[in-house]
Structure 1
Amino acid sequence: MLRNYLKIAFRNLLRNKGFSLINISGLAIGMASAVLILLWIQYEFSYDNFNQHKDRLYQVWNRGFFDGKVQSWNSTPKILAKTLKQEYPDIEEASRVELRSPFLLIVGDKKLRTRGGFVDPGFLKMFSFPLIKGNSKTALDNVYSIVITESLAKKLFGDEDPMGKTIRIENKDNFIVSGLLKDVPTNTRFSFEYLLPWAYMTKIGWDDDFWGNNSTNTYVLLKEHTTAASVGAKIKNVTIAHSKGTEQNELFLHPLSKWRLYTQFEGSVAGGRIAIVNTFGVLAIFILVIACINFMNLSTARSEKRAKEVGIRKVVGAEKHTLISQFLGESILISLLAGIIALFIVQLALPAFNAFTLQKIEIQYSNSYFWISAIAFILFTGLLAGSYPAFYLSAFQPVRVLKGTFKAGHTSFSPRKVLVVIQFTIAIILIIATIFVNRQIQYSQDRETGYSKDNLIYHFLTEDLEKKYPIIKSELLSSGVATAVCKTSAPMTQGFSNSWGFEWQGKDPKSKIIFNRFCVDEDLAKTVGLTIVKGRDINLKDYPTDSTACMINESALKIMGFKDPIGQIIKDNNVDWHVVGVIKDFVLQSPFENTEPMVIEGARGWFNVIHIKLNTQNSNAENLKIAEEIFKKHNYQFPFEYQFIDEEYAQKFNDVQRVSKLISLFTALIIFISCLGLFGLATYMAENRIKEIGVRKVLGASVLSITTLLSKDFLKLIIVAIVIATPIAYFIVSKWLQSISYHVSVQWWVFITAGLLSMLIALITISYQAIKAATANPVQSLRSE
Structure 2
Amino acid sequence: MIRNYLKIALRNLLKNKGFSFINVIGLSVGMASAILILLWIKHEIDYDQFHEKKDRIFEAWNKDTFSGELHCWNTTPKIFARTVERDFPEIEQATRVSWPRQYLFSIGEKRLTVQGNFVDSNFLNMFSFPLLKGDPDLVLKDMFNIVLTEKCAKNLFGNEEPMGKTIRINDKDNFTVTGILKDLPNNTRFKFDYILPWAYARKQGDDDESWGNNSTRNYVLLKPNASLASLEPKLRYIKRKYDKDEKTNEMFLYPISRWRLYSRFENGKEDGGLIDFVKMFAVIAAFILLIACINFMNLSTARSEKRAKEVGIRKVVGANKASLIGQFLGESILIAFLAGLVALLIVQLSLPAFGKLTDKILFIDYGNIYFWLLFIGFIIFTGVIAGSYPAFYLSAFKPVKVLKGTFLKSNRVVTPRKVLVVLQFTFAIILIICTTIVKEQIQHARNRDTGYDKENLVFHSLTGDLRKNFPLLKNELLASGVASAVVKTSSPITQGWSDSWGFEWEGKAVDDKTDFDRFCAEDDLGKTIGLQFVQGRDFNLKEFPTDSSGMILNESAVKAMGFKDPIGKIVKDGDKPYHVVGVIKDFILQSPFQPMKPMVIEGANGYFNIIHMKLNNRNATADNLKRAEAIFKKYNPQYPFEYKFVDEDYASKFKSEQRTGTLAALFSGLTIFISCLGLFGLAAYMAESRIKEIGVRKVLGASVTGITTLLSKDFVSLVVIAFVAASPVAWWFMHNWLQSYPYRVTIEWWIFAFAAILSILIALITVSYHAIRAATANPVKSLRTE
The reply on whether 1:735 has 2:736 as its aligned counterpart is: yes
The answer (yes or no) to whether the contact 2:536–2:567 under 8 Å persists in 1 is yes
404 and 615 in structure 1: CA distance in 2 versus 1, 3 angstrom threshold: closer
Residue 217 of structure 1 aligns to a residue whose secondary structure is: strand
CA distance in 2 between partners of 1:167 and 1:515 (Å): 40
CA distance in 2 between partners of 1:288 and 1:221 (Å): 42
CA distance in 2 between partners of 1:115 and 1:375 (Å): 44
The answer (yes or no) to whether the contact 1:34–1:284 under 8 Å persists in 2 is yes
Residue 265 of structure 2 aligns to a residue whose secondary structure is: strand
Cross-structure match for 1:354 = 355
The answer (yes or no) to whether the contact 1:116–1:194 under 8 Å persists in 2 is yes
- Aligned-pair CA distance for 1:321: 2.5
The answer (yes or no) to whether the contact 1:311–1:401 under 8 Å persists in 2 is yes
- Aligned-pair CA distance for 1:231: 2.7
Cross-structure match for 1:3 = 3
Residue 261 of structure 2 aligns to a residue whose secondary structure is: coil
The answer (yes or no) to whether the contact 2:719–2:759 under 8 Å persists in 1 is yes
Q: Which moved more, 1:404-413 or 1:124-133?
A: 404-413
- Aligned-pair CA distance for 1:247: 5.7
Residue 670 of structure 1 aligns to a residue whose secondary structure is: helix
CA distance in 1 between partners of 2:236 and 2:245 (Å): 13
CA distance in 1 between partners of 2:165 and 2:304 (Å): 77
- Aligned-pair CA distance for 1:233: 2.7
CA distance in 2 between partners of 1:210 and 1:145 (Å): 27
Cross-structure match for 2:38 = 38
The answer (yes or no) to whether the contact 1:550–1:577 under 8 Å persists in 2 is yes
The reply on whether 1:552 has 2:536 as its aligned counterpart is: no
The answer (yes or no) to whether the contact 2:494–2:649 under 8 Å persists in 1 is yes
Cross-structure match for 2:481 = 480
- Aligned-pair CA distance for 1:715: 0.7
The answer (yes or no) to whether the contact 2:90–2:227 under 8 Å persists in 1 is no
The answer (yes or no) to whether the contact 1:548–1:603 under 8 Å persists in 2 is yes
- Aligned-pair CA distance for 1:77: 0.6
CA distance in 2 between partners of 1:779 and 1:73 (Å): 78
Residue 507 of structure 2 aligns to a residue whose secondary structure is: coil
Residue 98 of structure 2 aligns to a residue whose secondary structure is: strand
- Aligned-pair CA distance for 1:740: 0.6
- Aligned-pair CA distance for 1:227: 3.1
Q: Deviations over 1:387-442 (max 9, x none)?
A: 22222222222333334332244311111111111111100010000001111111
Query: What is the TM-score when the length of structure 2 is the normalising length?
Result: 0.98
The answer (yes or no) to whether the contact 2:302–2:681 under 8 Å persists in 1 is no
Residue 27 of structure 1 aligns to a residue whose secondary structure is: helix
Residue 271 of structure 1 aligns to a residue whose secondary structure is: coil
The answer (yes or no) to whether the contact 2:410–2:689 under 8 Å persists in 1 is no
- Aligned-pair CA distance for 1:719: 0.7
467 and 705 in structure 1: CA distance in 2 versus 1, 3 angstrom threshold: same
CA distance in 1 between partners of 2:399 and 2:569 (Å): 94
- Aligned-pair CA distance for 1:468: 1.5
- Aligned-pair CA distance for 1:374: 0.4
Alignment of 1:166-245 (within 5 A): 166-245=166-245
Q: Which moved more, 1:217-226 or 1:487-496?
A: 217-226
The answer (yes or no) to whether the contact 1:22–1:677 under 8 Å persists in 2 is no
Matched residue type, 1:668: G
Alignment of 1:647-686 (within 5 A): 647-686=648-687
Matched residue type, 1:360: I
Q: Deviations over 1:96-123 (max 9, x none)?
A: 1014242111100111112111000010
- Aligned-pair CA distance for 1:140: 0.6
Cross-structure match for 2:132 = 132
Residue 652 of structure 1 aligns to a residue whose secondary structure is: helix
Cross-structure match for 1:423 = 424
- Aligned-pair CA distance for 1:569: 1.6
The reply on whether 1:387 has 2:388 as its aligned counterpart is: yes
Q: Which moved more, 1:251-260 or 1:412-421?
A: 251-260
The answer (yes or no) to whether the contact 1:211–1:247 under 8 Å persists in 2 is no
Alignment of 1:341-380 (within 5 A): 341-380=342-381
- Aligned-pair CA distance for 1:245: 4.4
Matched residue type, 2:20: S
Cross-structure match for 2:623 = 622
- Aligned-pair CA distance for 1:463: 4.2
The answer (yes or no) to whether the contact 2:459–2:645 under 8 Å persists in 1 is yes
Query: What is the TM-score when the length of structure 1 is the normalising length?
Result: 0.98
The answer (yes or no) to whether the contact 1:77–1:216 under 8 Å persists in 2 is yes
Q: Deviations over 1:667-719 (max 9, x none)?
A: 10000000011112112322232222222112111110000011111111111
CA distance in 2 between partners of 1:472 and 1:636 (Å): 12
Cross-structure match for 1:261 = 261
Cross-structure match for 2:60 = 60
Cross-structure match for 1:320 = 321
- Aligned-pair CA distance for 1:663: 1.3
Aligned residues: 785
The answer (yes or no) to whether the contact 1:549–1:579 under 8 Å persists in 2 is yes
CA distance in 1 between partners of 2:715 and 2:612 (Å): 61
Cross-structure match for 2:635 = 634
Matched residue type, 1:571: K
Residue 164 of structure 2 aligns to a residue whose secondary structure is: coil
Residue 542 of structure 1 aligns to a residue whose secondary structure is: coil
Cross-structure match for 2:142 = 142
- Aligned-pair CA distance for 1:358: 2.5
- Aligned-pair CA distance for 1:735: 1.3
Matched residue type, 1:757: L
Unpaired stretches in structure 1, ≥5 consecutive residues: none
Cross-structure match for 1:580 = 581
The answer (yes or no) to whether the contact 2:464–2:639 under 8 Å persists in 1 is no
Residue 665 of structure 2 aligns to a residue whose secondary structure is: helix
- Aligned-pair CA distance for 1:288: 0.5
Cross-structure match for 1:93 = 93
Residue 6 of structure 2 aligns to a residue whose secondary structure is: helix
CA distance in 2 between partners of 1:616 and 1:292 (Å): 58
Q: Deviations over 1:236-282 (max 9, x none)?
A: 11112111242632111121122222231113224222222222111
297 and 474 in structure 1: CA distance in 2 versus 1, 3 angstrom threshold: same
- Aligned-pair CA distance for 1:82: 1.2
Cross-structure match for 1:81 = 81
251 and 500 in structure 1: CA distance in 2 versus 1, 3 angstrom threshold: same
Residue 81 of structure 1 aligns to a residue whose secondary structure is: helix
CA distance in 2 between partners of 1:244 and 1:738 (Å): 38
The answer (yes or no) to whether the contact 1:504–1:570 under 8 Å persists in 2 is yes
- Aligned-pair CA distance for 1:293: 0.9
Residue 465 of structure 2 aligns to a residue whose secondary structure is: helix
CA distance in 2 between partners of 1:717 and 1:236 (Å): 59
Unpaired stretches in structure 2, ≥5 consecutive residues: none
The answer (yes or no) to whether the contact 2:410–2:686 under 8 Å persists in 1 is no
CA distance in 1 between partners of 2:215 and 2:183 (Å): 27
CA distance in 2 between partners of 1:383 and 1:505 (Å): 74
The answer (yes or no) to whether the contact 2:263–2:270 under 8 Å persists in 1 is no
Residue 468 of structure 1 aligns to a residue whose secondary structure is: helix
Alignment of 1:278-677 (within 5 A): 278-677=279-678
The answer (yes or no) to whether the contact 1:304–1:408 under 8 Å persists in 2 is no
Residue 137 of structure 1 aligns to a residue whose secondary structure is: coil
The percentage of aligned residue pairs carrying the same residue is 61
Q: Deviations over 1:180-221 (max 9, x none)?
A: 211112221111111100000101111111111111111111
The answer (yes or no) to whether the contact 2:146–2:194 under 8 Å persists in 1 is yes
CA distance in 1 between partners of 2:101 and 2:532 (Å): 30
689 and 409 in structure 1: CA distance in 2 versus 1, 3 angstrom threshold: closer
CA distance in 1 between partners of 2:336 and 2:226 (Å): 48
CA distance in 2 between partners of 1:687 and 1:391 (Å): 21
Q: Which moved more, 1:773-782 or 1:576-585?
A: 773-782
Q: What is the aligned-residue RMSD (CA, Å)?
A: 1.5
Matched residue type, 1:699: L
CA distance in 1 between partners of 2:487 and 2:459 (Å): 10
Residue 280 of structure 2 aligns to a residue whose secondary structure is: helix
Cross-structure match for 1:103 = 103
Matched residue type, 2:123: F
CA distance in 1 between partners of 2:760 and 2:785 (Å): 36
Q: Which moved more, 1:73-82 or 1:249-258?
A: 249-258
CA distance in 2 between partners of 1:383 and 1:238 (Å): 58
- Aligned-pair CA distance for 1:507: 2.1
Q: Which moved more, 1:740-749 or 1:551-560?
A: 551-560
